Amino acid sequence: MSHSNGFRALDRQECLRLLTKVPIGRIVYTRQALPAVLPVNFSLDTDSSVLLRTSAGSDLVRAIDGVVVAFEADDFDAATRSGWSVVVTGRATVVTDPAEHERLSWTGPRSWVVTGDGVFVRIEAEMVTGRDITGTRGAD
C-alpha cells in the first residue's frame, strides 16, 4: 500500500471491511448511452458481492441486468479532510433463483421504498479498489 499525495491504496479485504460501515453507495451504469449515477442502499453478501434491492420493473433493473457496472461508497470527514472511498466493479445480475431470493429476503438489504415486486441485484466483486485519504485540519 503506497502513499502518494495523502492517498493510501487499500487492499481488497480492507475495502470490503469499510463497505460494511456505511448504508449508502452509488451505482454507476450507462443509461441511453450516457453515464448515470444513482444513490442506493446496499449490503454485502457472504461472497463479498454487493446486493441491492429494487422494483422488478424499475429502469435501473432494465439498464443493469447482465452488464458490467461500478459501485462506489465512501465516508469523509470535512473537518479533518480525511476519509475513504471504495469502488467495486463487476457484472450485475438479477437474482432469479427462488431459494436464493428467499435467503436474501432475510439477510439482504431492505428497500427504503415499499414495493410488492422487489428483486435483488447482485454485483459481483470482480475488481475491488479503494483509497484512504489522510488530511490535516486547516491544510490548503
**Is 3.40.50.720 the CATH classification of the domain at 3-133?**
no
Quick: pLDDT tens for 23-75.
999 999 999 899 999 999 999 999 999 999 988 888 999 999 999 999 999 99
Instruction: Specify the pLDDT at position 57.
Output: 86
Q: Domain boundaries in the chain?
A: 3-133
Dist CA 69 CA 37 (whole Å): 10
What 8-state DSSP symbol labels residue 14? H
* Top-confidence residue, 83 or 118: 83
Dist CA 33 CA 29 (whole Å): 9
Task: Kindly indicate the confidence band of residue 135, based on its pLDDT and cuts at 50, 70 and 90.
Answer: confident
